[in-house]
Amino acid sequence: MATDNFVQPAIPRFDGHYEHWSMLMENLLRSKEYWQVVEDGVATPEEGRELNAAQNREHDAMKLKDLRAKNFLFQAIDRSILETILCKETSKDIWDSMKKKYQGSSRVKRAQLQALRRDFETLKMKESESVTDYCSRVMGIANSMRIHGEKMGDTLIVEKILRSLTPKFDYVVCSIEESNDTDELSLDELQSSLLVHEQKMHRSSRVEEQALKASTNTHSNNFRGRGRGRGRGYGAIWLRKILEELHFKKDDATIIYCDNTSAIKLSKNPVLHGRSKHIDVKYYCLRDLNNDGTIVLKYCRSEDQLADIFTKPLKAPSFQNLRNLLGVCMMQQQS
């Protein structure tokens, strides 16, 4: 015995959003071959004209289709809305009444189109918004404009998305515009490219957060130079990242001058002894950066540590020495 696994499609309920509901309902009626009778109605024979048997069968078939289409519309529209429709004789009457009530006249459509155009022009991506959410917002307004009669090509939407992204996507936009012809770039290709770059940025930001995260329970007051070296290591990562986003990638290691010989030795030879066992695991990030060639620690005497002039209150001789090392001098002395 053959079994029929066909599942009756769900009838879309009208929820106040006419454009979306009418699209779903029209597709359902077309799939059932009822759309012609909804769009054109059932032709009424002229008075006094007699129909032959074939014409009678065709007319009865059209009336049956009309009844079935009405049945779909009755199930899709709430009772409170049906009661406001005065003429419900045919499915065409019901459809046209819904269209007039909720889509509006040509003047109303023009006013709605103007509002949509304004929203489209002022649309900008929010800082915390994802690429998927922003593309959905743009496409939602663009589709509404198309429904209201606006002739809008994909190129216009692509250009709108590219010029309204947040500043962090500026270098991505330049790369896309240089490597692709925007007239031939599809929306799917654009969104795919932006999603790849967004994932890379999220991955980079997570690495930076892990590297730049400061511990609240450090004991830097007891161990001189420990917090300072760690901060400079993370600062080097941050600077390298900025230079890479500006297309100035640094391939060789960044030199960090450190006046703490213990920190330099720990970064090269991770020997565990009584004086180093208290160090938290997170502080070994400096050693990993040194091992993979991102940074190189070099010894520098405390008297020659230029960074101290910006971070510490110094005595006059030390201040003058570091100032001279920076090359700062008075104009009278230079002349």
Tell which residue, 169, 136, 138, 175, has the closest CA to residue 156. Answer: 138
Report how far apart, in Å, the C-alpha atoms of 4 and of each of 29, 125, 263 are: 22, 49, 76
pLDDT at residue 5 is higher than 60: no
Q: How far apart are CA 236 and CA 283, in angstroms?
A: 15
pLDDT tens-digit readout, 231-252: 556 677 778 888 888 777 777 8
Mean pLDDT value across residues 283-294: 69
Give me the half-sphere count of Cα atoms (radius 13 Å) on the Cβ side of residue 88.
Answer: 12
Burial-class residue 155 by CB neighbours within 10 Å (0-12, 13-18, 19+): middle
Higher pLDDT, residue 149 or 193: 193
**Amino acid at the residue 72:** F
Sign of the Cα torsion 125, 126, 129, 133 reads negative
Q: Which of 20-29, 172-181, 196-205, 268-277 has the highest mean pLDDT?
A: 20-29
Q: Which of 87-91, 135-139, 274-278, 306-310 has the highest mean pLDDT?
A: 135-139
Q: Are 31 and 9 in contact (CB under 8 A)?
A: yes
Give one DSSP letter per residue of 255-291, joined into a string: EEEES-HHHHHHHH-----TTTTTS-GGGGHHHHHHH
pLDDT tens-digit readout, 106-136: 677 788 888 889 999 999 999 889 999 999 9
Q: Can you give the pLDDT at residue 226?
A: 41
* Pick from 53-62, 153-162, 290-299: least confident: 290-299
The pair of structure tokens assigned to 265 is 């030795």
Q: Can you give the pLDDT at residue 229?
A: 46
The rounded percent of the chain whose pLDDT value lies above 90 is: 10
pLDDT at residue 332 is higher than 80: no
Residues 6+ apart with CB under 8 A from 25: 12, 72, 73, 76
Helices (H) and strands (E) in the chain, counts: 16, 2
Higher pLDDT, residue 202 or 193: 193
Mean pLDDT value across residues 292-297: 77
Q: How far apart are CA 329 and CA 157, in angstroms?
A: 57
The pair of structure tokens assigned to 220 is 């830097």
pLDDT at residue 150 is higher than 50: yes
Q: What is the CA radius of gyration of the chain?
A: 36
